[in-house]
Each structure stands twice: as structure tokens, then as C-alpha cells.
Structure 1
Amino acid sequence: MMRMVFRDNQFVQERVMDSNDLERERGITILSKNTSITYKGTKINIIDTPGHSDFGGEVERILNMVEGVLLVVDSVEGPMPQTRFVLKKALEFGHAVVVVVNKIDRPSARPDFVINSTFELFIELNASDEQCDFQAIYASGIKGKAGLSADNLAEDLGPLFESIIRCIPGPHIDKDGALQMLATNIEYDEHKGRIAIGRLHAGVLRKGMEVKVCTSEDSCRYARISELYVYEKFSKTAVERVEAGDICAVCGIEDIQIGDTIADKAFGKPLPAIKVEEPTVKMAFSINTSPFVGREGKYVTSRNLRDRLYHELERNLAMKVEDGETADTFIVSGRGTLHITILIENMRREGYEFMVGPPKVINKKVADKLLEPYEIATVEVPEEHMGAVVELLGRRRGQMIDMQGVGAEGTTLLKYKIPTRGLLGLRNAILTASRGTAILNTIFDSYGPWAGDIVTRDQGSLVAFEDGSSTSYAIASSQERGQMFIGPGIEVYKGQIVGIHQRPGDLSLNVCKKKAATNVRSNKEQTVVLDTPLDYSLDDCIEYIQEDELVEVTPSSIRMCKNPKFAAAKKSR
């Protein structure tokens, strides 16, 4: 594919479709992107979509634009838990599937096992007989080779493109009908404004054309197309007209939203709106109230925060934002913790400074019964740590569904159905219990009966007693009480969480205390060995905090602190 698209001397970024910095750092796809190539006279539109169920809003939109999918599975690991989500959605849409077994050049590749596992997954997801009879392609993406058998790869990706043309049908379109295009994605350009992206379902779209933009049958407005683009290779190309079946970008409609239909001015009718599953987790966003407010961030007011969060709704269909109890608090609901933490990370990189509370699940009441979301958690763990992990999942109300040996000798795959509440803080706990060797994947399953109380954290926090700068002398005595988040010479404020207490309950301590000076020469400075402080990422901090704690997020720092509102409530009692 690279040979078709780039010059020989052109610099090509690794993982070219993962263009977002956050995607490169985390090694995951967060935003869907599209491109196209022409193979033997046939134009093939390709859309890279996220695999994680937390970004299901992206997946569900994108499946509206395609006729088939390439399901890429690893030649050793086989279908991952996240593969299940995208495949389930694609099969529900009735799309054709081509299975690509990638990294076939790995020494431990086991293609027969992978194909059998994938077939079992198709059966489990109620695929039709036609869908189960899928074409399998074996490939090495890094070498740019593919073939119909694992032992016989061509010198390029030709067999893959031949399979796409042979197995995936052309677009179901009405070429001569009245114009219809569903806006499935939105981009923003400083000069061109809002750009709607979608596939033309019927008719022809021309530059300068007057169109009708419909949200529903009764809600339509008129607009003019100022510019039209199609995707060629890895860039947008300006065109005068686009025919039904092609994917294009449309400029000139300032107020267009995802789910709107661009239709013929006279005869156009709206297409069915995009349906997205409901959020399962919510978090409170509020303005920064710590003593360090405004030191590192550019946008710190509640108005800045409100505008940014509501702006996110324009392109993030699976997210919801509501005003909180106070004017400077907003409740953000998403498909999972990862869904919301990606938004937090993007905002801090844009210069925002704010605080977030702990994630809470969104419960439902049906016929006077309280229901909560459940997820399927799969854990790959070495046998020597299995007991500790099983105990941990059991304490969090997990029910074992399956247990089997997998891949490397001595590794067990555990599959549990567990309340989403029980997953909060689980990743860190499992890594601790397995000494960093376990791999946890989760996917939303369904709503089920309330599982009862769950204790997610046994230890309290070490809390700074006063404002100041931490000293080696104070930290040396503090680290006897637990594990520290800070080293010496760090500015802290009263109420900031500086470590994990080794016992339940919080403990206030003075990390800024200086050693008393003495005039006795023989009182030689004692050599103190300080432990390396824990380095918690944004995700770790959000997993760690409890009901009465907050994460302070700024462009340069991530700190945790006690929520002053809870302290005030305790005092008033």
C-alpha cells in the first residue's frame, strides 16, 4: 500500500493512520480516519476505526459508511476481547468480513488456532452462514506482504486487495435518485469552518449547489455547498462533483451536526438518524479550586470549561454533558472510564486547568428494580499469580464464566462477568497482585441486578498537613507510613494527597518539616535513603481516587487532593 501512495524518498510516519499524538503514545486508535487507494481501476475507500468499546460512538457511525470490514487479528494472540465489540457491530449491520491474520512472520505464529478461534467468535456472535464463510488472508503489515496461505505470501499486498474487490460488494446506492448524504463525522478547519464527512447514498453533489439540511422530516433548513473534497491517498483533494457511493467532505454548512442529512433542495428526504448506545460511566468536572490555580493553565474559568465540554458533544456522539449542582460543575457521561480520560488528556494538552471527581456508574431503574452495568473482563495471568487475581475479582462481585490455558506455557485466561463498579481501580490492583504480569481487557455486556456493596480500596491516603516545599528529612519519616507520590523539593498544599497510607483511613502528615539546626559539631548529618516515589499517570490517578477525593489536572501536572466540600460536611456534623 505504501508503494502505491508515497514517493520512494518521502518521509512516512510509522502507523500513518494514527495521526493523533495521543494515539501514537498509547498505541490505540481513538478517532476514525479515512483514505482511499485505486487498485486496478477500482477505488477502495478505507476507514480506520477504533477497536475499543469505549469509542463505540465512532464505530457505530463509521459502519454506516461501509459495505464490509477487514478484521485484523494477531497471528499469535488471535481475536482480542476488543475485537468482539467491532465484529458484533459489523455483523449486526450485515457487513461482509475479510479476516486478515497479521504478523504471520512471527516465529510463534499459529494461524490454524487463530482462524479456528475467529470462526468460534463468529458463531458466538450469531453470524449468518454467509458471514461465517469468510475469506482469510495472511499478511505481514511491516513487510507489506500478503497471501491466501500462511506459507505462500506474495511480494506485495495484491492478494489482500483482490480479496476486497472479490468479497466486499459495491455500495448499495441510488445513482439516479434525489441527493441524500448522512453526515457521519465532523472536522473543523480555521479557514473553512465546519466540514461534514459522509458517504453519498443517492444522487450527485456539486460544488456551489443549493441543498436542504434535515435533522428530521419536520426540521429542515437550506444551505449552499462552498467546497467539495474527496479522499485520495492520505490527503483531501478538491473536486467539482461527487457521485453516489463515494465518501466526501462538504464545506459551507456552518451549523451541520453529526446525524444530519444533506438532501436535494426539492425532493430530498432525511436518512435514518445514527443510533448510539447509552453511556455507562459519569464523572464530575469542575473548576480548579486548589491554591495553585492559574499557575500552569491558560483556560481556568467555568465558562472556558463549559464551552469546551459542550463543543466536544458536536463530534463525540456517545458522550453527554449536563450542568452539575453548582454553576462551576459539569457531569460528563461516557461509554467507559477510558472514553472520558482521553477527553481529559486532550483538554490538558489544549491548556485547560480543572478538577475531576471519581468515576461513577450510571444505574437504571426498571419496574422498581435497580439495575447496574456489567462488563466481561478477561485477564491473562501467569499461574503463580492466579490465586491472588481470582480472589481480587471475587471480592469485587465478579462471576467466573471461563478459565483456560492459553498460548505461552503457564499462562491462564480468566473470563469474568463483573459489575462496572468493580472494575474501577481494578487495573492497578491486578498489576500489583500479579507483579505487573497480568493483562486486563474489558467490554460492556449488559445491565443486570444491583450486585451489592463493593469495597474497591483497602488503604487510605497520606495527606499534606500544610503548604510548603517537601524536604528529604520529612519524606524520610513519612515513607515509613506508606508509599509516597512525591520526592523532596516539590511544592505541595494543604489537603494534597502525597502518598498511599499502609493502613485503612487517611493520615495527615507534614512533608515540609525541616530538620532543627544544632551547634553540636559531632551531630553529623545522617545518611537517608529515600524510596523512589510512585509515578501515577492520569488513568492511575482516576482509578485511585475515592468519593471524597479529586484529581487536579493542569497542562504540566496531575495532582490528587481531598475534596474540601467533604471536609466541610464532616466538620458541620
Structure 2
Amino acid sequence: MQKIRNIAIIAHVDHGKTTLVDKLLHSSNLFREGEESGDLILDNNDLERERGITIVSKNVSIQYKDVKINIIDTPGHADFGGEVERVLKMADGVILLVDAFEGPMPQTRFVTQKALGLGLKPIVVVNKVDKENCRPDEVYESVWELFFNLDANDEQLEFPVLYGSSKQGWMSTDWKKPSDSFEPLLDAILEHIPPAPTNEGTLQMQITSLDYSSFVGRIAIGRVARGVIKENQPISLVKRDGKIIKSRVKELHTFVGLGKMKVAEVKAGDICAVVGIDGFDIGDTIADFENPEQLEVIHIDEPTMNMLFTINNSPFFGKEGKFVTSRHLHERLYKEMEKNLALKVVPTDSADAFLVYGRGILHLSVLIETMRREGYELQVGQPQVILKEIDGQKCEPVEILIVDVPADVSGKVIELVTQRKGELLIMESKGTLQHLEFEIPSRGIIGLRNNILTATAGEAVMAHRFKSYEPWKGTIPGRLSGVLVSMEKGQTTAYSIDKLQDRGRFFVDPGVDVYEGQIVGEHIRENDLVVNIVKGKQLTNMRASGSDDNTRIAPAIKFSLEESMEYIQGDEYIEVTPKNIRLRKIFLKEADRKVNAKKFQ
């Protein structure tokens, strides 16, 4: 019987999870001498590499002292909490990674709470002890305090702790005495993480994640909780609602190194991929053919935000994308819902528009960015928080916001947050930085990051996590200034941009195609202003001295997708195509905007 340990790696975003997995893979001699493996081996899609974050959890395994260690790398960002919650079901223990300077962050708290609640055994790794200003001993104390506050049991409170630097490739039980390898961590996994339980009896396996192959279709991934699963075995698929579908396993694969290996059977305790089952969803149970027994269904926290997704109906419709119709949009969103558990899609009165519910702006923007890279053209509306009625009272989601900022600009941050109905809870010094904690409605966080980064010259570090639904806090002021809207369709000219510069800042460069109703800049006043940005200079053969000055144009402001989502108001859309992100008014003609103005007040 093969000895198995199943372990998930959890941490706040940017504390070094994926780098740690890289080093574990290297230390188990998975790569040949001199083989080029690169870094961040598991962040293998373009979006993950560009943003430097993990979005989808991954499975790999290594061999160490005749024990197979299945490692699950999880995302660290709050918006992908749904991903973390379900994959923890496959683990028997967790490695909690904490930065030696920052200590436990809001996201650490969120995933640690889930792991402790499932009764998983933790190993704490204080990472990045090679950094300046690091404070490993204080961080250890604050992790213990966090566990205590999260009601960890006595066994969980006696967690082993290791110190090290994933980047430099060493771990040790004493941070003042660096070792030269990762063996202390691997030994701690074998010693402290319980072996995977080998439960005898009829087959039970919960599907906790899925993969897709263009050859065999959808592949179910999960841990065998009881019994044995074999190739060609007839099984019952128990759906979340208790309905049973009879099916058959075609192929079985276990995770070996970075890839998969085909096997004839998998025993309880190991993680495997099952090919050949149709119609399954995450959370379903693969059970015995004759006596199917269902495992407890995975519960995922509710979404807190929604956005309207609709087809692109601007004058530039269909010029840049491959998939532009409502049928394409419908199919793609429902396909996403199969694997993205925290996402919900609801049809609206219009056949062309869908309400998409998600965990936050990053969660939704990653979906939109993935779709535009696949060739979709669509428009999205302003993100809205989801309101609930609790005991006859209108309630909204409230979050804990943590900002670390240089002390001399902390006053600006407090002012910006309190304007948006935030309440200051904690203010303390942390090294050279001021550590601020607020309670703020989720609505207040939309659009706040840009303002804080501008006010602090980019030095603020922000993190937030969902706390609970609380009574409505009142209206929050929206965008302070109006926008400049194009009056005509055509190509922008340097001459007209130059002449209009005193009216505001522009989002477009000269020589760009625009259409009537497109937002081309930000007005200096509170109202919207319609401008003619395509007018050229009247050229005559008369010349006057001084009238032919060169135009001096300030560079255009370029918004990322998230910045655009935070910028727009209720009467505006973002037009997203594979090549461009444009802002526009929902009603392109000025007369229509005036008629419908009351709808958006």
C-alpha cells in the first residue's frame, strides 16, 4: 500500500505560495540535471503570469522517502475564495505560508478559518526571512493569536513552525540558522500531516475540481474518500439534489510530478482524475453502482456583486471580435459556471443581456479578460453590490479594509475612506508604515483603490475581505467629475484635442476612431460635456505669424479593465473587444440621454 500525504498550500496573495511549490518540485529531483524549468511553474496561463497571481488551483505530486505527497496550490486572493473552499476538501493538512514582515493578512484569516473548520492539521512556514525589516518572532506570535481567535482545537494550536526563504531555497526550524535545503519542511510534512485515510467499503469520491481536454471532454478530479475506483467500473453519479445517474469510468489518471499517469485502479486517500463521466458538476459524488451513498455537498459562500453582461451594439460592433452574438455570450457564460463555483448567471428580460454574480471586481474582471482573449466582444455595466432584506431591514455587504501606508499620508487615506462611509477601527505603527483597519461597505471599495494610490503616490498596500451583511449605510458620493462625450463619429485630430485641453483630460490619442456617445475624456466640472473631437483645422493658403504653433497634447490616460469597471457610472457601459476597451454612454444620442436621465438618478 502506497503511503500518501495530501497537503494544500494557503497564504495571502504575494506571500510566495507558487515559488514554494517550485522549490518543492526542484528538491524532489523532478527535473533532469540542467533542464530549464523556469520559475512559477504552476502559474501557466498568461493572465496568471502577467498579474503575478494564482487564479485556478493546481495539483502536482512529489516522491520523498517512499511517500507520495500530493500538493494543491491555491489562489491567495479573496475573490477566488470559492476555488480555495472546495479544494481544501482534498487535503488532510495545510501549509500556511506567512510573510516574515507583513504577518497574517485578511486573506490569510479567510482561508485559515476554512482549513481549521475542516479539521485540517496546519504547518506554519514563516517565509521571506531574508528580507530587511523582517520580524519572524513577532509574526509567529500573531499567527498563534490568529489560530486562537479562530477557535482552533488544542492539536491545531500546537502547530510546528519553520522559517526560511522560498526564493533562496532553504527551510529551517530556527531562522537564525539557515539550512541548505527544503528537507526540514518535507520531514515536517511526513511527521505532522496525517496519512491519507484508507477507508474500506463501497466507493465514494467527491468531485472537487474539473479539467478539460479537447480529446476526451470534461475530466472529474477529486479524492477517493472510501473504497477503490477501477477502470471500466460501472458507477452511480449522485447529483447535488440527490438525483442518480448511472455511468461508467473509461480511464483513470493519478497525478505524478507535473503531469498525470494512467492507472488501472485508485485506492482511498489518493487524488485522481476520472475520464468518461458525463453530466457531472463540482460537488457531485461518484458512488457505488448498486448502493450509492452521497457525500456532504460543498457549500460555497454567496457572491456579493453583480454586473450586466450584454452583446456589443456599438457602431464598431463585430469589427474586432470572432464571437459577437447573444448565443455565443450565453454559451460561454454557462460553460464558465460549470467550473467557477462562486459565479452565478441569471437571464434578464432582454435575450441579449445577462446578470452575472461574482465575488468581487477582480473575480469578474478575470472572466471578462479571459473572454476578450478568446475573441469575444461584449459590453458590461457598472458593478452593483447585492442587497438583502434581513428582518425587514435593507442590508448590504460590509468588508474589513486594511491599508498599510507611510505615516505622513495616512491622514489622506483616512479622509478618503471615511467619505465612503468607512469607520476606522485600528491605527497602529508597523515598522515605518502606519497600519489602518476600517469597516467599509463593499460599495465604498469600488473606485477607492485608484484614489488612494493617487493620494499616496502609489505607496499604499490595500487588502480587503468580506465580513457580513449589515444595515444600509446611506448614499456614497460617486464620481466627482463628469465626462467628455464625443459628438460625432470619425477620427480624432490633434487640433481639436489641443483646443479642448482646458476642458479636461483625454482618454484617447489623436488618430483614433471614435463614435457618437463614446466617452473620450474626463470633464473638469461635475456635468457631462459633449465635444467635437474629430474637427480638423481649416487649411487655407493664407498664413499668419504665430497661428501655426505646434500642438502640445498631454498624454492620454489609459485605463486597465478593473480601473474602467471602477470608473463608470450607472448610465455607462464598457465596450470590451479583443483589441480595445472603450467607455461609452448607454444611450449614444444626446437627445436620448436627456429623455432617459431620470432612470439613472
TM range (shorter): over 0.9
Residue 478 of structure 1 pairs with residue 478 of structure 2: no
Of 469, 487, 509, which residue of structure 2 is paired with 1:447?
A: 469
Of 374, 393, 406, which residue of structure 2 is paired with 1:350?
A: 374
Residue 563 of structure 1 pairs with residue 590 of structure 2: no
Distance in 2 (alpha carbons) for counterparts of 1:549 and 1:338: 19
Distance in 2 (alpha carbons) for counterparts of 1:111 and 1:275: 35
Task: Tell me the secondary structure at the aligned position of residue 594 of structure 2.
Answer: helix
Distance in 1 (alpha carbons) for counterparts of 2:416 and 2:145: 29
| Matched AA of 1:160 | L
Q: Which residue of 1 aligns with 2:238?
A: 214
- Tell me how far 1:356 sits from its aligned partner: 0.2
Q: Which residue of 2 aligns with 1:250?
A: 274
Q: Which residue of 2 aligns with 1:141?
A: 166
Of 557, 571, 583, which residue of structure 2 is paired with 1:548?
A: 571
- Tell me how far 1:521 sits from its aligned partner: 3.0
Distance in 1 (alpha carbons) for counterparts of 2:499 and 2:435: 42
Of 367, 388, 394, which residue of structure 2 is paired with 1:370?
A: 394
Task: Tell me the secondary structure at the aligned position of residue 546 of structure 1.
Answer: coil
Which stretch shows the higher mean deviation, 77-86 or 179-188? 77-86
Of 546, 558, 572, which residue of structure 2 is paired with 1:535?
A: 558
Residue 34 of structure 1 pairs with residue 59 of structure 2: yes
Q: Which runs of 5+ in 1 are unaligned?
A: none
Distance in 1 (alpha carbons) for counterparts of 2:487 and 2:148: 59
Which stretch shows the higher mean deviation, 129-138 or 93-102? 129-138
Distance in 2 (alpha carbons) for counterparts of 1:367 and 1:173: 46
Q: Which residue of 1 aligns with 2:188?
A: 163
Of 70, 75, 96, which residue of structure 2 is paired with 1:50?
A: 75
Q: Deviations over 1:271-308 (max 9, x none)?
A: 11110011100000000011111111000000000000
Task: Tell me the secondary structure at the aligned position of residue 303 of structure 1.
Answer: helix
Q: Which residue of 2 aligns with 1:128?
A: 153
Task: Tell me the secondary structure at the aligned position of residue 503 of structure 1.
Answer: coil
Task: Tell me the secondary structure at the aligned position of residue 166 of structure 1.
Answer: helix
Of 109, 113, 116, which residue of structure 2 is paired with 1:88?
A: 113
Which stretch shows the higher mean deviation, 441-450 or 13-22? 13-22
Contact 2:517 2:589 in 1 (8 A): no
Task: Tell me the secondary structure at the aligned position of residue 275 of structure 1.
Answer: coil
Distance in 2 (alpha carbons) for counterparts of 1:484 and 1:569: 21
Q: Which runs of 5+ in 2 are unaligned?
A: 1-23
Task: Tell me the secondary structure at the aligned position of residue 338 of structure 2.
Answer: coil
| Matched AA of 1:447 | Y
- Tell me how far 1:117 sits from its aligned partner: 2.1
Of 513, 516, 523, which residue of structure 2 is paired with 1:501?
A: 523
Residue 394 of structure 1 pairs with residue 404 of structure 2: no
CA 217–297 in structure 1, closer or farther in 2 if over 3 Å, else same: closer
Q: CA RMSD in A?
A: 1.5
Residue 300 of structure 1 pairs with residue 324 of structure 2: yes
Distance in 2 (alpha carbons) for counterparts of 1:367 and 1:136: 45
Contact 1:194 1:255 in 2 (8 A): no
| Matched AA of 1:547 | G
| Matched AA of 2:384 | K
Distance in 2 (alpha carbons) for counterparts of 1:172 and 1:445: 34
Distance in 1 (alpha carbons) for counterparts of 2:483 and 2:119: 51
Distance in 1 (alpha carbons) for counterparts of 2:292 and 2:240: 11
Distance in 2 (alpha carbons) for counterparts of 1:124 and 1:454: 33
Q: Which residue of 2 aligns with 1:325?
A: 349
| Matched AA of 1:105 | D
Identity %: 47
Distance in 2 (alpha carbons) for counterparts of 1:23 and 1:263: 35
Contact 1:224 1:252 in 2 (8 A): yes
Q: Which residue of 2 aligns with 1:114?
A: 139
Q: Which residue of 2 aligns with 1:422?
A: 444
Q: Which residue of 2 aligns with 1:521?
A: 543
- Tell me how far 1:88 sits from its aligned partner: 1.3
Task: Tell me the secondary structure at the aligned position of residue 502 of structure 2.
Answer: coil
| Matched AA of 2:421 | R
Q: Which residue of 1 aligns with 2:300?
A: 276
Q: Deviations over 1:343-366 (max 9, x none)?
A: 001100110000000100001012
Contact 1:53 1:443 in 2 (8 A): yes
Task: Tell me the secondary structure at the aligned position of residue 462 of structure 1.
Answer: strand
- TM-score if structure 2 supplies the norm length? 0.93
Contact 1:459 1:501 in 2 (8 A): yes
- Tell me how far 1:217 sits from its aligned partner: 7.7
Distance in 1 (alpha carbons) for counterparts of 2:149 and 2:526: 44
Q: Which residue of 2 aligns with 1:266?
A: 290
- Tell me how far 1:44 sits from its aligned partner: 0.8
- Tell me how far 1:28 sits from its aligned partner: 1.0
| Matched AA of 2:376 | Y
Q: Deviations over 1:390-412 (max 9, x none)?
A: 111111000111011112x2x21
Q: Which residue of 2 aligns with 1:466?
A: 488
Of 380, 386, 389, which residue of structure 1 is paired with 2:404?
A: 380
Distance in 2 (alpha carbons) for counterparts of 1:122 and 1:566: 58
Q: Which residue of 2 aligns with 1:456?
A: 478
Q: Which residue of 2 aligns with 1:438?
A: 460
- Tell me how far 1:78 sits from its aligned partner: 1.7
Distance in 2 (alpha carbons) for counterparts of 1:142 and 1:48: 17
- TM-score if structure 1 supplies the norm length? 0.97
Q: Deviations over 1:94-147 (max 9, x none)?
A: 211111111222233221122122222222322223222211111221222111
- Tell me how far 1:337 sits from its aligned partner: 1.2
Distance in 2 (alpha carbons) for counterparts of 1:382 and 1:201: 50
Distance in 1 (alpha carbons) for counterparts of 2:527 and 2:146: 45
Distance in 2 (alpha carbons) for counterparts of 1:192 and 1:168: 35
Contact 2:61 2:68 in 1 (8 A): yes
Distance in 2 (alpha carbons) for counterparts of 1:143 and 1:379: 29
Contact 2:312 2:575 in 1 (8 A): yes
Distance in 1 (alpha carbons) for counterparts of 2:461 and 2:551: 36
- Tell me how far 1:9 sits from its aligned partner: 2.4
Q: Which residue of 2 aligns with 1:185?
A: 209
CA 156–188 in structure 1, closer or farther in 2 if over 3 Å, else same: same
Distance in 2 (alpha carbons) for counterparts of 1:352 and 1:73: 39
Distance in 2 (alpha carbons) for counterparts of 1:348 and 1:280: 24
Of 179, 183, 193, which residue of structure 2 is paired with 1:154?
A: 179
CA 491–35 in structure 1, closer or farther in 2 if over 3 Å, else same: same
- Tell me how far 1:320 sits from its aligned partner: 0.4
Task: Tell me the secondary structure at the aligned position of residue 5 of structure 1.
Answer: coil
Q: Which residue of 2 aligns with 1:338?
A: 362
Task: Tell me the secondary structure at the aligned position of residue 517 of structure 2.
Answer: coil
CA 548–186 in structure 1, closer or farther in 2 if over 3 Å, else same: same
Residue 491 of structure 1 pairs with residue 513 of structure 2: yes
Q: Deviations over 1:433-476 (max 9, x none)?
A: 22222121111000000001111311111111111111111111
Contact 1:173 1:245 in 2 (8 A): yes
Distance in 1 (alpha carbons) for counterparts of 2:53 and 2:153: 30
